[in-house]
Structure 1
Amino acid sequence: MKKKILKFFILACIIVPITVFIVQVDFIMVFQELQKIGLKFIFILLITFVAYLLGTIGWWICLGEERKRISLFKLFEIRQIGEIVGLYNPSSIIGGDVLKSELLKPYQFANHVASESVVISRVTAVLSQLSLLMLSLFWLLINANNGMPVFWRYGLFVVVALLFCMQVLFFYFLYQRRRISAHKLHYSFNLWQRMGKIIRDLVLQTQHFFDHHKTLFWWSYVFFFLHWLVGSMEFYIILYFMGYDILLIESVLLDMGVILIKSVGAFIPGQLGVEELGNKIVLASIGIQAATIWVTVSILRRTRQLCWILVGIVCYIFIRKTDAIKVFKHGNPVRQS
């Protein structure tokens, strides 16, 4: 009985935020904007497909020799399901990544290869994302006109310096021959101790993979870097269709900014208003402040997200038909962490 209640609760945590997102979409405005842009919308879907495919390859590489057990197409399906859950579930990427690990279990990977691949791919994804964010903010800093307040310039410099130091420190630990001690830490209500243990375990797992698969680590990093770079072109294409010719680095800045804002608001069910607020703020940062522009950009991006949610649902139904029984034999799809 408790198991059934837990499964119901888990499904509710997945379905409710996605339902909230779909319900809040103004389909009348969506259809109006789609009529204006016409078949050009296919280019937006195509560019995001390429970005998602690159992200899938970045994860596939982390499976090492075991990747022959699963096709790239099947891994693409699993990734879409996990990313959707991670994007709209209050537990954010934790829930999405745990679901990915569970959906990989029927493929019988050796030892902890499946869970390790999820962790390492997330690490390379975040590191490459931080690199792009650092580069885009550095570009903004050196190209800032005299209209930018001195306070903001110093703030940007501090953020860029922190991002650079964080990455240097992380790679320093990766290349260290002496390993971080894996002290056992019992459950503690001290938030800093718990966070410290999580970070230590993450670094240890990454160090282990890096020691044995250094080449695979860097290839995964490269593909995730391309994943973020290609994905950021969505802003470039949308604004180009609307008559705004921006630089590619500006589209990277816009995309990284929105992702950062959405990460802060990850706890909000369906991310109500977070996407729109993010679009408005980042567009204003490059001088585009017209309300009609950020509203249109938000509608088109929401429509793209809705399309990929539908793709994710179809993927889940397909997987459920083929191996869902095996998946649920291994436990619950999402565990709160």
Structure 2
Amino acid sequence: MYCRIKNILMSFKFFKFFFFLLIGLFLLKWVYDFFGSPDSIKLINENKSNLYLIIFAHIPTLYFDAIAWQVFIKKERLSVLWTFLITWISQASGKFFPTGTISGEFIRVYLGVKRGLTIYESSSTVFADLIIATFSLFLISIFSLLVVTFDSISLFNNQKSFYLYVSLFLMFLGCIFFYFFIKLRLIKFLLKKENIFGFRLNKKNLRILFKIDFSLFLLSRNRLNLLKALLSRLLGWIAGAFEIYVFLFIIGVDASLLDVILIEAFTGIVRAVAFFIPAGLGVQELAFVLIGNYVGLGDTVAFSIAIGRRIREIIVGIPAVLIWIFVFYNKKGKRA
């Protein structure tokens, strides 16, 4: 009976994955048909000799994201170098492969354990970092929205931007939920309610979940570390915007730092809300085009940025996968 239920759940999981993958592919085709053009690809081909610069431009983003996680980890347990490598691999798994951001976070937990962290320490620090990342994205998006609003009220009159308000609202609700989830120790509360899930966990799993809950609670009480992590994540988002600036420089397009921050912020928040679409296919491209058009870049340049981001994900993701294979595992499949 158990095996049958497990097989049904696995089948449903694969069906759900391919269903949302098809939605993403159809959306990607629609974006290309309506906004893309051969000129976008031509623009990249004409400047392909300088595309290597986007690799170096991505290093600060990875560094600040890794430091934000490192803040919550004891230095003797995991060095900055290993934090950087694990962050690199986890982000590649969520972007290079069509597995989604959530899968990338599970991989980060897994690799943290492989490098010596306890399961509850790795889980709680990754979860805390994920909350900080969500809140920092919300803050930088609100800042960008306010700046644009003061510059031009047309954003509120643009019907196409309705989804931005919905995304911001959902992100705000997520931040509120995470706050009370940790503050009220809801994991502990739910675990004490017997049979609430219709099944019982064994003592080992219960012990791990209680430790994760307590570890999250302790992390939330260290305000200095929370501030450091938030600052690092904000710098990471700005570094991500700088990547767009570098790409525009490569293809010979001028843009202000504020423009690229706006593009990065709203693209990030739309993709975060649409996390169920594998690799953000179509969603990411649509966000780039809509926001790119709003700041005056036009369809051709905006879609070129979307293509450039996919190129960066591939050329940065492949080395990350190779590091996962050759650094974390030896030939026998054991930890290096």
- TM-score over 0.5 (shorter chain): yes
Q: How does 1:203-222 map to 2 (within 5 A)?
A: 206-211=216-221, 213-222=222-231
Pairwise CA distance, 1:274: 2.7
Distance 1:227 1:34, change over 3 A: same
Q: How does 1:179-194 map to 2 (within 5 A)?
A: 182-184=189-191, 185=193, 186-187=196-197
For the 8 Å contact 1:78–1:100, the answer to whether it is kept is yes
For the 8 Å contact 1:78–1:315, the answer to whether it is kept is no
For the 8 Å contact 1:106–1:323, the answer to whether it is kept is no
Identical aligned residues as a percent: 18
For the 8 Å contact 2:108–2:126, the answer to whether it is kept is yes
Distance 1:87 1:35, change over 3 A: closer
Pairwise CA distance, 1:157: 8.3
Residue of structure 1 equivalent to 2:292: 283
Pairwise CA distance, 1:165: 8.6
Distance 1:172 1:302, change over 3 A: closer
Which whole-Å deviations, capped at 9, do the CAs of 1:4-51 have from their partners, x for residues lacking one? Answer: x99xx89x97x998xx99xx9xxx999965552255323322121111
Q: 1:247 aligns with which of 232, 256, 277?
A: 256
Q: 1:37 aligns with which of 44, 47, 50?
A: 47
For these two proteins, the number of residue pairs brought into alignment is 296
Distance 1:107 1:274, change over 3 A: same
Which whole-Å deviations, capped at 9, do the CAs of 1:119-175 have from their partners, x for residues lacking one? Answer: 11111111111111111111111111568628899998898788779768976997x
Q: How does 1:16-95 map to 2 (within 5 A)?
A: 33=43, 35-64=45-74, 67-87=75-95, 92-95=100-103
> Which deviates more, 96-105 or 142-151?
142-151
| CA distance in 1 between partners of 2:93 and 2:125 (Å) | 18
Q: How does 1:87-126 map to 2 (within 5 A)?
A: 87=95, 92-110=100-118, 112-126=120-134
For the 8 Å contact 1:90–1:266, the answer to whether it is kept is no
Which whole-Å deviations, capped at 9, do the CAs of 1:74-99 have from their partners, x for residues lacking one? Answer: 22222222222233666633322112
Code of the aligned partner of 2:189: A
| CA distance in 2 between partners of 1:307 and 1:202 (Å) | 35
Which whole-Å deviations, capped at 9, do the CAs of 1:251-307 have from their partners, x for residues lacking one? Answer: 111012222232344333444333322211111121232x32123222222211111
SS of 1:63's partner is coil
| CA distance in 2 between partners of 1:310 and 1:154 (Å) | 36
SS of 1:108's partner is coil
Residue of structure 1 equivalent to 2:139: 131
For the 8 Å contact 2:94–2:279, the answer to whether it is kept is no
How does the TM-score come out when normalised to structure 1? 0.70
For the 8 Å contact 1:136–1:253, the answer to whether it is kept is yes
Is there any run of 5+ residues in structure 2 with no aligned partner, and where? 30-37, 199-210
Code of the aligned partner of 2:246: I
Code of the aligned partner of 2:73: L
| CA distance in 1 between partners of 2:215 and 2:58 (Å) | 30
Residue of structure 2 equivalent to 1:192: none
Which whole-Å deviations, capped at 9, do the CAs of 1:207-252 have from their partners, x for residues lacking one? Answer: 32122x3322221111111111111112222234444433222211
Q: Give the aligned CA root-mean-square deviation in angstroms.
A: 4.3
Distance 1:205 1:141, change over 3 A: farther
Say if 2:270 is the partner of 1:261: yes
